[in-house]
Structure 1
Amino acid sequence: MKMFSKENPRVVDLVRQRELSESCAASLSRKLQVTDDLVARLGLEKELEGHGGCVNCLEWNESGEILASASDDTHVILWDPFRYTKKKVFRTGHSGNIFSVKFMPKSNDGILVTGAGDCCIRVHDITVSDTILVCSCHKGRVKRIATAPSVPFMFWTAGEDGLILQYDTRVPHSCTSQDRRGVLINLVNHLGRLAEAKCITINARRPELIAIGANDAYVRMYDRRMIKPSTCQATPASNFDAVNENSEGIDAQAHLQRAGKGDSDDNIPLGCARYFVAGHLRTRHQDQKRNRSLAATYLTFSADGNDLLVNMGGEQIYLFDVNKGSSSKFLPKWTNGTRYSVPGDQWCSDQKRDEGIQLETYFKHNDPLVLPIHIENIKEEANTAFQKQKYTTAINLYNKAIAWCPHGAVLYANRAASFMKRAWDGDIYAALQDCQTTILLDPRHVKAHFRLARCLYELNRAPEAHKVIKNFQQNFPEFATNSACRALYKDIKKALGSEETNEEETDEVEEEEDKDEVEFPVGQVAQGVSAHELYWQRNSVDYDIRFCGHCNTTTDIKEANFFGSDGQYIVAGSDDGSFFIWDRETTNILRVLRGDESIVNCLQPHPSSCLLATSGIDPVIRLWSPRPEDGSQNERAIENLEDVASANQLRMKSNTFELMLLNMGYRFPGQQDHNQDQSGDDGDERERPMSPSQTSQPLNCRQS
């Protein structure tokens, strides 16, 4: 897990420095923009009424003086967020739900771009209330528009036809021209004809970097300077029959001939793309019903341009380091008999280290086996929560302790045990990462080695689990006869398809493991994926931080955003009508607020103050700001954070029928076996592995 680290000067020091230097005024303002105290007091300030349908998108102008909103009613409203009044209301001309609205950079807030379900892009001059450009090059719904603050006149769009289009308002546009090179990326050529682009964003600090989310588990980042735009001739028309009936000049057969075969003109070089994916989502051993529900619904770069935040539909929220080297491997590698190498060194963000550096050097002044007194107290509190089967409470406490003491091996080991017991989506893989970190910090930690084998087994990686358990038996012979070890070994051998595994078979497993994994995009097959796509997926980068608690299965426009001048908080909406605020460093939930009667989709923080705009199914925009400290009760605040988060995870694991029953008030018993080991690393060794037949396989709802 990557720790969020930054210089953190005290407010009193900044106030003192401001008296001596005016240059400190900006630093003080940023420091006080969003603080823990302000987040704790956040409440509903005002509801802005005016739309006649769901509000699908919100956008602040650069100064934060105007808030633009667009809705299913095909209207755009410009608001004065401080006087709660409408500055302008105009019809866009769209015939479908508007999904995205953007101010054009350097236009004095006079030019707006909208994209909608009618497959059209419209550019509006709001000073004269006129539409100056209408584009119908997309043949699927337009889901997102992206702009870069430092790049005037240009914008980019992502559509469900799999196309990423690039526009320059200085150049005359014609949708019928076969010579216009406006296609930046065609996902269909690489993923197959079912590919859809769901979201897009531009790195404000490095505008050459463009990130795209599609209807699979992978997030794609390209350097657009290396891409040669192509023509619109190959615009797909196979996925949207209703649109195809009215489409002219589109050769669907020609498009299908290129699907999954790569670009005909090879306009995207291998070196210009980098893929990101949560390690447990890239494996090919996934339930096909759940695979179809995965899609990135929103992504955004951090203010410094170093991190990419992704809201993965049907799963959790992930933060990726865009500067991390490629091939952040999913599986651990066995070295020196008792140590695993951890690519990327995820356990410590403030001290990046290359693989192979001696641990003794780092731990000369940091003993991983000795914890400070206050950290020891937090650990004991977490252990008590673990014993009471309050696994989320235990994880939150371990998160807090690790933020203070990132070299404590036992903290990662105990958190791994808690993850394995809680078993939310991605928890087993998170436990695997913690086991790797524990072994890196303390190579002789027995339970970490055993749990690592168990995690691999539960992730359906039986060959790797077999290798780890064999090494465990060789390096810790005193535990080889333990009943838990023997039971796990038996289950792993059974999963391998043979009760007797000879040395030749083991060598073959090890030889195969050293080869690059060929893994396919969610919902696709090998024949429908280009060679470039396979290469990019094979070299994809794993996540650094994960945020859990919300539910994202019902809509495919649900956002997640950074909140605060340094992005020290993460905010996202949920299918239960609430929105969540996480601490970025500890990943713990700080607040849950009721933001909609049905679903919260959009959350856009104000650029310079502690003000948050949200919207969803309700035809209103809600503004949230710190409430006065007058002792009044915040009726929008949800107190029991863990229960809400647990209910959302159950909702994500439910199938359509179970979800209907949940909405009717029915509750299902937990799927965890509480007869398993209830001790942390300070308790007795009583771990009993569960076979796949003993574990309920979670199911996700499909996205609409």
Structure 2
Amino acid sequence: ARNVRNADWSRTVRRERGSNAAFDAFAAMESKSETESSENKVEFAKDIFNLPTDSDENFVLLHSKREFDDTFTIPFQRKMILTRNFISRLGLEAELEGHSGCVNCLEWSTSGELLASGSDDCQIIIWDPFSRRKLKTIQSGHQGNIFSVKFLPNSNNGTIVSGAGDYKIRVHDVNASETTMACSCHANRVKRLATAPNLPFMFWSAAEDGLILQFDLRQPHTCSNTCKNVLVNLICLFGAHAEAKCVAINPLRPELLAVGANDPYIRLYDRRMLKPTTYKRRPDDVYASSHWERLGMDSPERGESEEDNSFQQQYPTHNLPSNCVKYFVAGHLPIKRLDFRKKFRTLACTYIAFSPQGNELLANLGGEQIYLFDIVKPRRPKAFGVPLTCLTQEHSTHSNGYHLNGTTNSSKYRLKFHPVKSKLPPNVDALRQAANDIFAKGQHTAAIELYNKAINLCPNAAVLYGNRAAIFMKRGWDGDMYCALRDCYKALEVDPDFFKAHFRLVRCLYELHKNQEAYDSFKLFKTKYPEHVKTSACVALDHDINKAISAKTNDDCGCSNSKSKAHDFMSSSGFNEVNASFSRDDSNNFENYQEKEWTSQAFDFSERFCGHCNTTTDIKEANFFGSNYIVAGSDDGTFFTWDRKTTNIVRILKGDSSIVNCLQPHPSCCLLATSGIESVVRLWSPRPEDGQREVREVTDFQDQAQSNQLRMNMNPLETMLLNMGYRIPHDMDENDSDREANILQCRQS
């Protein structure tokens, strides 16, 4: 009878959900004899649920897996907290009114029962989000905008820490509505606070004076001219204009502390290797006009060794051993730094967040895109050359690429030939064909999204990477050329004889101003594919590369002795072109030798998320929404939701009349809190399945993303005119005429 019931259940499942190998295997397991040991059942169940399925959100399978594997409980909760169906129904649930100024920060309690918000009105409000009531209003005592609030863990939601634009940090007793500690150790605006799980007595702060401070409430604290709790001093690493913008603690490995500054590098420190150090400042530093004056020092002149040595002696980095930190940066940013400066664009990390599993780090870069870094298996930036799979070198000194120096005889390299690759699966090939058709119509972003889906289904198809690289090169958004380079590199690793990928790689190197590497790679291309040398595309590229190399050689020969000491100092250090081009070359900046070493070893990103705009405010957040989605605010008053695996935009909602800055997901249910320039806090949750469309939804993803990209590339004058209501029509082709009138405006100044 038991076997009959199982057979009926199996047939019902197949009839309702379609044929599924995992269900068939599960039914077969249930029909096995009861004499089979429970241990074998568990192992058999593990094998079952490793079978491929049509959806990672199959609730029945995941629920059954949890029954057999107790270690799957937490992953099950994280996966089921948010599904694609919930995202498609996400809508505005409530608006919490109570502030009289911009709401700059939001924070959930550990249990998710309470929500705290801080505002320009210098008040902290504690909300009950489920009854939509204001429970308590705390007069913070701050004299500036509140930028960060945090519940201290395991304090029964009774202690809140706040940091503000008045340079102060305050600890508040919620029940007594009083301030228990006021710290004025920082010399500039306090931008972010961080807490560690299960540590109710410690927190960390990041401020625009370049300092990361560590606080322990078990020890008495007195503010004076000498601060003894400096964990990281960024000023002694890269100069007077260093500013700490954000800080975060890994939720599963609290010894890891991530720091974001006013540069594109993300620093991941191991706190176990750091010992708090001290610094001194003058009593009148509040009126100082520069960071150096706040520290009671004169700005050092770069290139003057006595000044540099004196600076390092007064503020050494002895508390930072060489192996205490890892640096992360998008691989193209060191190369494009000068281009950003010419356009008066600044790069700064406005927010960093760890994934729920603690293995990834998400960074929102002001003036650029959002990047995801793998901190467990970090990846090096792609070498500027062809992969070793394309050739065999007798004495190679590069592990992930090949640099031909122009003097080596090409006959020492033996070309390798590989068999023709298998055809694509039908569903993947259909996506490829649809993407090509859309690309032919000029819809570049939509074509890239289709290729993202195809690559997610078939990650080892060279043609998919090669074609996506071509679309990246055509679209030309920030970082697209480097992503095209990565795709070409991957395509050549899979299929070393893919000559289109090789040619596009050379073009990417040229566009990234790696002229010598482009010349060397193109020389190999002409050796390997002589039949394509005379084509018009090859002739034009060859001419462009030789012209660029000649121009650079003439510039180098015509250099005058009036070059700044800063440039001489950097060029004498012997570091490679990538890091030299990204060095802080302002006349009053200083860069520590240790900092140069760390930046030269920075790791690359694993994923990139595009479409939003982050240029107007420096507190814009990006966060994990469940395990499979990313959310971030934008200058156009919307917030974006991306699929974590494909990096495609899945939802855009209007969250503010001007700018969305803060997005904080609930820790245990599908509830999202957002805020921005308006004085309200908005709560978003899945709406009823009644067929009604969310009125705040933006349906044209490609148009919205393109408008944001144009806004990010405007110079400051154009941005000012845009904020005043003017439209900037340049850089729009004939297909953009209909879109011009629909560009969303940033808030007026």
Q: Shorter-normalised TM-score: what interval?
A: 0.7 to 0.9
Cα distance in structure 2, aligned partners of 1:138 and 1:487: 56
Q: Which region of structure 1 is more displaced relative to structure 2, 598-607 or 146-155? A: 146-155
Alignment counterpart, residue 80 of structure 1, candidates 110, 115, 128 = 128
CA distance in 1, matches of 2:496, 2:188: 53
TM-score relative to the length of structure 1: 0.84
Greater alpha carbon shift after TM alignment, 218-227 vs 536-545: 218-227
Aligned-pair Cα RMSD in Å: 3.4
The one-letter code of the counterpart of 2:325 is A
Q: CA separation in 2, counterparts of 1:183 and 1:118?
A: 19
**Contact 2:629–2:644 (8 Å) recurs in 1:** yes
Task: Give, as a single letter, the amino acid of the residue that structure 2 aligns with 1:581.
Answer: T
User: In terms of mean alpha carbon deviation, does 433-442 or 326-335 score higher?
Assistant: 326-335
Match of 1:296 in 2: 349
Output the amino acid matched with 1:396: E
Provide closer, same or farther for how the CA distance between residues 197 and 238 of structure 1 changes in structure 2, counting only shifts above 3 A: farther
Return 5+ residue gaps in structure 1 as ranges.
Answer: 346-359, 502-511, 675-700
1:291 shift after superposition: 6.7
Q: Aligned AA for 1:666?
A: R
Are 2:327 and 1:275 aligned? yes
Q: Establish whether residue 636 from structure 1 lines up as the match of residue 696 from structure 2.
A: yes
Post-superposition shift, 1:233?
A: 1.4
Answer whether contact 2:630 2:643 (CA < 8 A) is retained.
yes
Seen in structure 2, the aligned counterparts of structure 1 residues 524 and 162 have a Cα distance that, compared at 3 Å, is: farther
List per-residue Cα deviations over 1:386-421 (Å, max 9, x = no partner). Answer: 111111111000000000000111000010000011
Higher RCO (CA < 8 A, seq sep 6+): 1
Write out per-residue CA displacement over residues 357-384 of structure 1, whole angstroms, 9 at most, x where no aligned residue: xxx9xx99xx855210110011000010
- 1:221 and 1:563 map into 2 onto residues whose CA distance is 22
Does the CA-based 8 Å contact 2:328-2:603 persist in structure 1? yes
1:327-406 alignment, distance < 5 Å: 327-332=380-385, 335=388, 338=391, 368-406=421-459
Q: Is the 8 A contact 2:386 2:489 kept in 1?
A: no
Instruction: Say which of 160, 168, 174 aligns to 1:120.
Output: 168
> Measured at CA, do residues 29 and 344 of structure 1 come closer, stay the same or move farther in structure 2, by a change above 3 Å?
farther
Which residue number in structure 1 is paired with residue 16 of structure 2? none
Q: Are 1:593 and 1:636, in contact at CA under 8 Å, matched by a contact in 2? A: yes
Q: Which has the larger radius of gyration?
A: 2
Q: Does 1:437 align with 2:471?
A: no
Q: Does 1:666 align with 2:666?
A: no
1:231 matched residue in structure 2: 278
- Measured in 2, the distance between the counterparts of 1:612 and 1:220 equals 28
Q: Normalized against structure 2, the TM-score is what? A: 0.79
Cα gap change, 1:582/1:243 in structure 2, threshold over 3 Å: closer, same or farther?
same
What is the letter of the counterpart of residue 575 of structure 1? D
Corresponding residue to 2:678 among 608, 615, 618: 618
The whole-number CA distance in structure 2 between the counterparts of 1:100 and 1:550 is: 23
- For the Cα contact (< 8 Å) 1:236–1:252, is it kept in 2? no
Amino acid at match of 1:158: A
In 2: Cα distance, 1:471 partner to 1:80 partner: 65
Equivalent-residue separation in structure 2 for 1:175 and 1:500 (angstroms): 56
Corresponding position: 1:578 with 2:630: no
Name the structure 2 match of 1:449.
Answer: 502
- CA–CA separation in structure 1 for the residues paired with 2:606 and 2:334: 15
Instruction: Structure 2: state its 5+ residue gaps.
Output: 1-51, 302-306, 402-415, 555-572, 736-745
The answer as to 2:658 corresponding to 1:598 is yes
For residue 9 of structure 1, report the CA deviation from its aligned partner. Answer: 6.9
Aligned counterpart, 1:518: 579
In the alignment, which of 514, 530, 549 is matched to residue 611 of structure 2?
A: 549
| Bigger shift: residues 628-637 or 591-600 | 628-637
Percent of paired sites with the same residue: 50
Superposition pairs for residues 22-171 of structure 1, below 5 Å? 28-171=76-219
**Partner in structure 1 of residue 248 of structure 2:** 201
How big is the shift at 1:286?
3.1
TM-aligned CA deviation for residue 305 of structure 1: 1.2
Q: 1:56 touches 1:615 (CA, 8 Å); kept in 2?
A: yes
Q: Which of 603, 620, 623 in structure 2 is aligned with 1:558?
A: 620
Q: Secondary structure at the match of 1:590?
A: strand
- Deviating more after overlay: 524-533 vs 335-344: 335-344
Q: Residues 79 and 368 from structure 1, CA distance in 2 versus in 1: closer, same or farther, beyond 3 angstroms?
A: farther
Give deviations 1:517-543, integer Å, cap 9, x for gaps. 533656545971000000000000011
Paired with 1:496 and 1:254, the residues of 2 have a C-alpha distance of 38
Aligned positions, number: 641
The 3-state SS of whatever aligns with 1:658 is helix
Q: Deviations over 1:182-212 (max 9, x none)?
A: 0001000011001000001011111111111
Q: Deviations over 1:207-253 (max 9, x none)?
A: 111111111111111111111211131589989747999x9x95233
CA distance in 2, matches of 1:126, 1:404: 50
Contact kept? 2:390, 2:497, Cα under 8 Å: no
8 Å Cα contact 2:238-2:584 kept in structure 1? no
Show the counterpart of 1:589.
649
Does the residue aligned with 1:496 lie in a helix, a strand or coil? helix
1:524-543 matches, within 5 Å, as 524-525=585-586, 528-543=590-605
Q: 1:172 to 1:581 in 2, by over 3 A?
A: same
CA distance in 1 between partners of 2:287 and 2:367 (Å): 23
**CA deviations over 1:402-454 (Å, ceiling 9, x no partner):** 00000111000010000011101100110010010111111111111111111
State yes or no: 1:321 paired with 2:374.
yes
- Partner Cα distance (2:520, 2:592) in 1: 32
What is residue 318 of structure 2 aligned with on the other side?
266
Q: Distance in 2 between matches of 1:211 and 1:61?
A: 21
**Residues 480 and 250 (structure 1), Cα distance of their counterparts in 2 relative to 1, 3 Å cut:** closer
| CA offsets 1:323-370 (integer angstroms, 9 cap, x no match) | 23575455235536548999789xxxxxxxxxxxxxx9xx99xx8552
Contact 1:421 1:672 in 2 (8 A): no
What is the rounded CA distance, in whole Å, between the counterparts of 1:133 and 1:277 in structure 2? Answer: 37
Aligned to 1:217, the other structure's residue is in SS state: strand
Measured after TM superposition, the shift of residue 174 of structure 1 is 0.7
